[in-house]
Amino acid sequence: MEGSHGETGKALRGKAKQLYATDDPEILWVEYKNTATAGDGEKKEDFTGKGRLNNLITTIIFDLLKKRGIDSHLVKRVNATGQLVRKVNMFPLEIVLRNVAAGHFCSRLGVEEGLPLKEPVLEYFLKNDDLHDPFVNDDDLVALGVCTREDLAEIAPLARKINEALIEIFAKIDVKLVDFKIEMGRASDGTLLLADEITPDSCRLWDQRDHSGKVEHLDKDLFRRGLGSIIPAYEEIEERLAELAKSEGIEVAE
């Protein structure tokens, strides 16, 4: 199948993106969709403009991280909803960093949402829809052959470095980074790279501008919890990040 943007090969469809092969075996085309999902896909809705916003947000964040010495699979954004990325051999892992107690962490451990954690918590979840992405530890991952001790010795410090950089980036736009999920993979030369996306779909972001003590969500919790449309929040994140990127000399395409 050849797509409308010159992609070749069959599309690999995910919940929020589609992935296409290109004429270059080392490069893939990512197409961001307007779909939002929650609860293992049980809750699903399309939001006009979401794909464009997430493509922009991921591109800007990956560019900001690159300036801070953190490489990703991103090659370039090519249109409103598409980007080219390096092909990587992905670890079947959701890598989660938590700075403030929220979501599953609270229900699992019986703590109040909003509790500041004394230090960031790094967690791994095995990507398996049938098992609802179960929580796993280092020993589980090595025993199952998902990755090696050597892999984890690279993954963990890179995840923590990304967390530190993102805390700083979001603080500059008056947003608290509560937690986030990332994925990683190895390029053909063995380099470990940040991959997938970083968007309000995959982060919990709380606005720090004055709301009289009320938490203002700028992330997918608006959809998960039925608090309102996600689009104004995503637009706010994109606008603030774009302003920051421009101030750091990063070109932001409209």
The domain of 194 spans 92-229
Burial category of 19 from C-beta neighbours within 10 Å (exposed 0-12, middle 13-18, buried 19 and up): middle
Average pLDDT of the chain, as a whole number: 92
User: Domain of 208: which CATH number?
Assistant: 3.30.470.20
pLDDT digits (tens, 9 = 90+) for 46-97: 999 999 999 999 999 999 999 999 999 999 999 999 999 999 999 999 999 9
Same domain membership, residue 153 and residue 97: yes
Distance between CA atoms of 60 and 250, rounded to whole angstroms?
A: 8
H-state helical runs in the chain: 50-67, 104-109, 138-143, 149-172, 221-224, 231-247
pLDDT digits (tens, 9 = 90+) for 12-30: 667 789 999 999 999 999 9
Residue-wise over 152-165: b if at least 16 C-beta within 10 A, else e? beebeebbeebbeb
For position 2, what pLDDT does the model report? Answer: 28
Q: Is residue 2 part of a domain?
A: no
User: What is the side-by-side order of every strand in the sheet holding 82-86?
Assistant: 8-13, 17-21, 27-32, 82-86, 74-77
pTM (2 decimals)? 0.92
Same domain membership, residue 210 and residue 171: yes
Same domain membership, residue 112 and residue 80: no
180 touches 202 (CB < 8 A): yes
Residue ranges for the chain with pLDDT beneath 50: 1-9
Same domain membership, residue 100 and residue 154: yes
